[in-house]
Chain A
């Protein structure tokens, strides 16, 4: 099973980019949590370091088998992830009003992270099996993929975790659009969505509505709901070109910046490293995504291509939404910056996804 060609084809670029991002993340986390504990290295930093080490281990693990073996496992994995989502609704710990965490032998994780990749795999299998030889899919061809998407989304919305549900929808629709939809169907779909907006609005919780309103006009309430986004913009903007210097960010140090090691980790970097540092990070992610798309392009089969694309879409959307939020372009939805914010399940599951991407990359020259 182990092939010398695999080692030759090992995607060092991908690994390098990931390593750079991970290192930047750790360095930034150190600053964001510096001084939270009384002395020594911040606990959060140490934990994240372990999570990265575990994550990279999982990444390597994910390269050890041929990703084609995942195709028959996609549906069972999907069903399994649905089971986890139901379980979290029954047994999950309630933190600040939502049930997102499941505890398993002392390790807490978010089943939605698992569901995210299981869903991608399921969609990849569907589109691999149901190849549309004409140009695009009709709406009636897409009923099954829609169902595949809808079930986990509904469960995640129930937690409630609007951000993750939104992300899963964006990723799924990216895959569907990539698969190709007839423009008539697309028009019908968008009309239907627009018609559903008032209904969706009515199902939103008060705090969710307020977040969206605050996004539309953050200065409305500078000490209330608009506080976070204003402080984040101040942090980013005050970094100017070269930044205030590592560990010198006043917005960070004096805690004007909220959620600085999770949702607003990017703002910490932007404050301390300025435009220069921000663009450096942006470039790293751009490189990662473009490289991911290249892997998709070079993959020799539909399953691999869709799988790679789905994984890349996760990175893309999480990055765009988080940075868009921190810079005030998008409303505040609780989506951490992928591979950069503090958070064990996210890091490990994302790196697992990266492992699969690597797997696809390594086997791009293999013909079956």
Chain B
């Protein structure tokens, strides 16, 4: 299997090709935990303005008001009229404003200076350097030797611009985005089953369901606002089923908690379907009228008896029977899933098996009946529609489809044959860098040395680049490898739309200007394009002008925004796509009346068999490691590790371990432990909890270097979606001494340990 390394774990010492040592870089650029708002805590008084906008973190995109004084964001106020969250916010939302006016904020472009670190340069010098290196590398090695990595926390306008920039100005096939680490398994499964990649229902359907299945979603920590929707469902008499190797806060109140073994989810789903067929809880009328492929699924799950399924899932058989009894006969139901079942080398199959439970009962496309994936990133939904994926053009179109290429070539006014073909997805792209096939890179909104699996390998890849330009607002751990750093913008320093977890397009409003000499991201990209000779294709004066082009580019596509304008989005507090005409109200609920988006108008059943994960525990590495998030941090932590209040809440990663396993290993609460896989290790504190399976340990992934959970994770990917297998690899755990290397002695926000 791809990603399998021989059993010689690399050392923790990172021999980095950096201009100066990491502790010196940290001194200059952080991350530093910043605790005090502009003017200090005492400084209160009248605001100059309050800007109704949205949180920059997570796919729920909660409404929030930012308080502005003297062109600085000084605080927040709940926005109670915004329908999705009604003023509710998680701690990340409450403290998000503290990323403005931060001492680490990059305020000018910089270049790497050997032995000194990074020094400010003019935009003229920075852009000239970037463009000359693009030209040099592409002339020497070909266009595809220069790659572009982007992100799903960018607005729709920026995501669209990134895809166009890669294809029209860089003319490279190799663009991909960090949604590859996040949403692609859910997207691929949804497309296979329904022909559309979007949550099928608005969140208002959740409280109306009589049973909700939450599979692999730590809702309380990763999508906290959704908790109230689940609790309201329970107040209305609905039942909650939760699948997770850990008892997360929502699992405490579940009517049925199934502590599934990571990677064993198909055992539960196929086992439930087996019981439902036996007991007659299948909607054969719906299946006959609106679907294809049922017979193969029914045939496949024949062998998934509760006992057979229980061995796969690692739970007692009666839990699977009880789940089927709760789910099968319910009048209404809702499936919610997230990274817990998606981050697998069989992530697409896991999602399909979950979706099948909704389809087989015909409980989709009506009030209180449906299915949704819980989008992780800020614009996790919109970011995967506008053409910044390696295989995609705007409007969720395919880059290998002749008609799609022709339409987009028309919008861009370029010859169809000038648009590159499908390029490499994120992990493969980094492998191509490691192998020396890709020589140059620009990245924005992506911190791969923390967020990609097998972090030691990823850091090595960055050491080998001939040229690397990074666009960011803070100097992330990855930006340290850059030759040129371009100071970009925070969400509140620009405007533009995002598409939330429900498929609803909303508008972020500008609160303040970028500080110092920093520039808005879209301007930086357009300036590079102009210097490459494509100024006429990137002659935008505002994000709104980009949106006007995006609307047209999406027209007739699956994710059709043509009928949206910024005014309409504001008036309606957001619009659900598809919205194909200006007088169209948008589409909150998909698949009403059993109409699906495949050419035959039907939903497609896909039979899935369970298969083992890429690396199963064995005698040498006998424990399962699973990774994930905590409530006060977001993704690679480059923002939240800089916000004092959020860092204080969870300062450093711990290794959650069951007391039974800990006792076997001679570990007590608070001990330093070495968690080690074939690829690398971390030294962190042990936290003994009975709320995790005794065969599994958990380490959250928001920290860098010696504290990076991704030192251990495996570079195995799903064959269809190419999502990495973050949720399971094999490790051993042992008690150890407090580490004393330079990184360990840094502050916790920079990768130190206490």
- Whether both chains belong to one complex is answered with no
Interface of B toward A, CB cutoff 8 Å: none
A interface with B by C-beta (< 8 Å):
none
